[in-house]
């Protein structure tokens, strides 16, 4: 497996080995010992799948407390996937890293706990998979405005389709630090 570090500490782009021939291909999307060598935790507690059409943008979402780490990849289609450091006290607070994930490139993105996450569908559709280190807790979920100018994400879409919740999300500077995760993971 190839591991590429991003500009954000802990955010990784992973390229699993793919074994293919005229019949198709095979790849491991998770192997606890192999991924632990890359720095990922050994336990995931929830798997999610979302399906979206071209132009849909989901995010930027985070949880605090009970921050979720997410290992994400695309089974069908293509997305531009983003992690934003929202950990109070982090030297990279408010910075982002992104990667194109697709069924063709078979890349994965590891988003550690304490980072906000979002993606937009750049293909016709996307079947998107998440492995999460914490259970979803709606009472602890927070959102950051997808196009917050202070973060400056270079989204490949100017006018995405958003949920009402994502369209109304505040910029990062308007979120109380008490609602954000911390660098130490304590809250």
Residues tagged active-site: 61, 130
Residue 79: strand pairing partners: 101, 121
What whole-number distance in Å separates Cα of residue 105 and Cα of residue 102? Answer: 5
Half-sphere exposure of 9 (CA within 13 A, CB side): 8
CA dihedral sign, ordered 42, 44, 47, 52: negative
- Report cis status (omega within 30 of 0) of the bond before 69: no
């Amino acid at each position: 497996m190839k591991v590429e570090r991003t500009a954000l500490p802990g955010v990784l782009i992973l390229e699993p080995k793919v074994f293919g021939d005229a019949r198709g291909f095979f790849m491991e999307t998770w192997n606890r010992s192999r991924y632990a060598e890359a720095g990922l935790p050994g336990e995931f507690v929830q798997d999610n799948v979302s399906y979206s059409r071209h132009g849909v943008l989901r995010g930027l979402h985070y949880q605090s407390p009970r921050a979720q780490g997410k290992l994400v990849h695309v089974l069908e289609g293509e997305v531009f996937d983003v992690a934003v450091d929202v950990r109070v006290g982090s030297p990279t607070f408010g910075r982002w890293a992104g990667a194109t994930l697709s069924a063709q490139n078979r890349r994965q993105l590891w988003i550690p706990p304490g980072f906000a996450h979002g993606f937009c569908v750049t293909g016709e559709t996307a079947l998107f998979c998440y492995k999460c280190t914490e259970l979803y807790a709606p009472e602890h979920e927070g959102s950051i405005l997808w196009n917050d100018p202070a973060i400056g994400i270079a989204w490949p879409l100017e006018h995405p389709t958003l949920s009402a919740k994502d369209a109304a999300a505040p910029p990062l500077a308007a979120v109380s630090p008490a609602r954000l995760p911390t660098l130490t993971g304590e809250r």
